[in-house]
């Protein structure tokens, strides 16, 4: 069977990079189809009519949307390094924490930057990130996944790379090393994984992306 | 091994009923622990410190939160009728649509009721529900899951039962039979499944719950 894998995305999207990391972990070769989000392709609109967003993975012509759904699909289809735990309870915990990262931490952090560092918004971002800090403390491991990265680490890509770039772009501190020592250590470990490194865009591109997005350029 | 299953919840919660349906489908015996959401139990706060919400399933002392995560856990631990498709692509599609129901349709419908039927809010609810109507039309099957209910049907519990009760409580129409014939037919089929029937509270309780919630009682 042909094994054609295409990933529609933009280099600066953390959700796209999470999917790239999963593909890299499984050593899957793929074609990266760059989308222009100000002028979305007919393919993107056809593949993801509900959200019209990237990433979309197209495997042998079958489109899959939503980053965590895509990562679970990749884990199931391609064997090798597992991205989700095998044990049903640990798997449920990983899914729960990935959801916390995506649905609670990410919007809180975006809001802290969007509000230009407004005190209450930053406090809410801290409160959300504190759950991740505590989880790392309780686990006492290098990654959320233990010795190796898993679904939660991939979901938290924005913590490791995008927060620092947005802080630099906007001159606002949202995640201080002092307040989040475990998350800071985790970030360093995470972005030094080869599969992650190979998925990330140059930092300066992300900084200038945020400057544009938040009207600082 | 002991197989102790407790479900913390309130009878009126659609998310709790979804989990009950999954347990019923698998013929799992469980203890229902009724929570008072205005005075949450120490157990609930311990089991779900991030969201402090029901449902929480506790299986042999291990707590699991977030309804879709719980349903996937139930599907994995208890064999019998499958709740997720076996094929990886179909499974990804089911996860995607369950997410659409939870993250897009549900908030839009809640907003339509919260706004007391404000035109724009109802139009947005219609737009969201139309995706489900179309999906049923494309599938041409009795349920989102085909001949049997699956994760998407369970996620859409609120469409089948709560929308009608909220319409009655508030005197607002959000989902007309005329506009959504497939969803209406699906709703009838869904609430007539034994596993679903056994999970639902009496309709009049839900109507009076909504009257209180939206200040109509």
Q: Classify residue B82: in a domain, yes or no.
A: no
Distance from A55 to chain B by nearest Cα, in Å?
13
What's the CA gap between B136 and B130, in Å, rounded? 10
- B75 touches A at CB < 8 Å: no
Q: How confident is the model at residue A144 (pLDDT cuts 50, 70, 90)?
A: very high
Predicted local confidence at residue A9, as pLDDT = 98
Query: Which tens digits make up the pLDDT trace of A12-62?
Result: 999 999 999 999 999 999 999 999 999 999 999 999 999 999 999 999 999
How far apart, in Å, are the Cα atoms of B189 and each of B59, B105, B148, B182? 31, 20, 10, 11
Q: Do A50 and B88 touch (CB under 8 A)?
A: no
Domain end position, chosen among B77, B99, B130: B77
| pLDDT tens per residue, range B120-169 | 999 999 999 999 999 999 999 999 999 999 999 999 999 999 999 999 99
Q: Residue holding tokens 């498709």?
A: B85
Q: CB distance from B214 to chain A under 8 Å? A: no
pLDDT at A83: 98
User: Nearest CB to B96: which of A65, A91, A96?
Assistant: A65
Q: Is residue B199 part of a domain?
A: yes
Number of CB pairs, chain A paired with chain B, less than 8 A apart: 59
Which residue of chain A has the CA closest to B135?
Answer: A50
Is B65 within 8 Å of chain A by CB? Answer: yes
Residue A73 to residue B89, Cβ atoms within 8 A: yes
Residue A28 sits at the chain B interface (C-beta within 8 Å): no
Judged by CB atoms closer than 8 Å, whether chains meet at B73 and A65 is answered as no
Domain range for B179? 88-213
Residue A82 lies in a domain: no
Give percent of chain A above pLDDT 90.
94
Asked if A141 and A195 count as a contact pair (C-beta separation under 8 A), the reply is no
Residues A99 and A196 in one domain: yes
Residue B71 falls inside a structural domain: yes
pLDDT at site A125: 97
Same domain, B60 and B101: no
Last residue in a domain, options B46, B77, B108: B77
User: Which run of H or E residues covers position A7?
Assistant: strand A5-9
pLDDT bracket for residue A216 (50, 70, 90): confident
Q: Are residues A205 and A178 in the same domain?
A: yes
Per-residue pLDDT at B217: 66
Look at residue A214 in the predicted model and tell me its pLDDT.
Answer: 80
B205: distance to nearest CA of chain A, Å?
Answer: 31
**Using the 8-state DSSP alphabet, how is residue B146 labeled?**
B
Tokens 């203890």 belong to: B31
Residue at A83 is within a domain: no
- What pLDDT is attached to residue A217? 66
Residues within 8 A of B (CB atoms), A 104-163 only: 104, 131
pLDDT for the residue A2: 66
Q: Is the peptide bond before A176 cis (omega within 30 degrees of 0)?
A: no
Q: What percent of chain A is predicted at pLDDT more than 70?
A: 99
Task: Look at B62 and A89 and tell me if their CB atoms are within 8 Å.
Answer: yes
Is the CB of A95 less than 8 angstroms away from the CB of B50? no
Strand partners, B7: B32, B57
Check whether B216 has a pLDDT greater than 80: no
Number of domains into which chain B is organized? 2
Q: Which of B22, B26, B51, B69 to mutate to test the interface with A (most CBs of A within 10 A)?
A: B69
B69 and B94: one domain? no
Query: Is B91 in Cβ contact with A76 (below 8 Å)?
Result: yes
Residues B199 and B94 reside in one and the same domain: yes
3-state class (DSSP) for residue A38 = coil
Are B160 and B92 within one domain? yes
Cα separation, B40 vs B25, in Å, equals: 29
Provide the CB-side half-sphere exposure for A164 (13 A, CA): 14
Q: Can you spell out the DSSP letters for B102-133? A: IIIIHHHHHHHHHTTS-HHHHHHHHHHHHHHH
Which residue among A77, A108, A130 closes a domain?
Answer: A77
Residue A92 is nearest to which of B72, B89, B103, comparing CB atoms?
A: B72
Instruction: Please check whether residues B153 and B197 belong to one and the same domain.
Output: yes
B160, B166, B167, B170 alpha-carbon torsion, rounded to 10°: 180
CATH number of the CATH domain containing A158: 1.20.1050.10
Q: Are strands B31-34 and B5-9 parallel, antiparallel or unpaired?
A: parallel
Q: Quick one: pLDDT at residue A132?
A: 97
Are A101 and A192 members of one domain?
A: yes
Provide the H-helix boundaries in chain A: 14-25, 42-47, 67-77, 88-100, 106-114, 119-139, 151-155, 157, 163-170, 181-191, 194-197, 203-213
Judge whether B188 lies within some domain: yes
Which residues are paired to A31 by β-bridges? A6
User: Pick from A73, A92, A93: which is nearest to B92 by CB?
Assistant: A73
Confidence of residue A3 (pLDDT cuts 50, 70, 90): confident
Q: How far is B106 from chain A (nearest CA, A)?
A: 14
Answer yes or no: do A115 and A204 share one domain.
Answer: yes
What pLDDT, in 10s, does the model give residues B63-93? 999 999 999 999 999 998 999 999 999 999 9
Does residue B138 share a domain with residue B43?
Answer: no
Helix, strand or coil, per DSSP, at residue A178 = coil
pLDDT bucket at B177, cuts 50 / 70 / 90: confident
* pLDDT for the residue numbered A215: 76
With tokens 């250590």, the residue in question is: A185
DSSP A35: -
Pairwise CA distance, residues B198 & B141, whole Å: 23
Beta bridge mates, A40: none
| pLDDT at residue A1 greater than cutoff 60 | no
- List residues bridging with A133 in a β-sheet: none
Query: Is the pLDDT score of B45 beyond 60?
Result: yes
Cβ neighbour number for residue A191 with a 10 Å cutoff: 16
Average pLDDT over residues A53-73: 98
| B1 pLDDT above the threshold of 70 | no
Kindly report the average pLDDT of chain A as a whole number. Answer: 95
In which band, very low, low, confident or very high, does the pLDDT at B3 lie, cut at 50, 70 and 90? confident
Same domain, B125 and B40: no
Q: Which of A69, A93, A131 lies at the smallest CB-CB distance from B92?
A: A69
Q: Which chain B residues are Cβ-neighbours of A62 within 8 angstroms?
A: 89
């Amino acid at each position: 069977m042909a094994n054609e894998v295409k990933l529609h995305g933009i280099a600066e999207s953390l959700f796209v990079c999470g999917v790239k990391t999963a593909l890299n972990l499984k050593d899957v070769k793929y074609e990266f189809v760059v989308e222009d989000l100000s002028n979305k392709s007919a393919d993107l609109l056809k593949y993801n009519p509900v959200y019209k967003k990237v990433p979309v993975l197209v495997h042998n012509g079958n489109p899959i949307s939503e980053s965590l759904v895509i990562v679970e699909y990749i884990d199931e289809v391609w064997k090798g390094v597992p991205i989700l735990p095998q044990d049903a309870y640990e798997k449920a915990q990983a899914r729960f924490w990935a959801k916390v990262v995506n649905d609670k931490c990410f919007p809180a952090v975006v809001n802290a930057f969007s509000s230009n560092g407004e005190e209450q918004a930053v406090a809410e971002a801290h409160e959300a990130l504190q759950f991740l800090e505590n989880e790392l403390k309780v686990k006492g491991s290098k990654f959320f996944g233990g010795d190796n990265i898993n679904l939660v680490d991939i979901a938290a890509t924005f913590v490791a790379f995008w927060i620092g770039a947005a802080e630099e772009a906007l001159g606002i501190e949202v995640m201080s090393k002092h307040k989040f020592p475990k998350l800071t250590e985790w970030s360093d470990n995470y972005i030094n994984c080869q599969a992650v490194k190979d998925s990330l865009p140059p930092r300066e591109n992300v900084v200038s992306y945020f400057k544009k997005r938040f009207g600082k350029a």
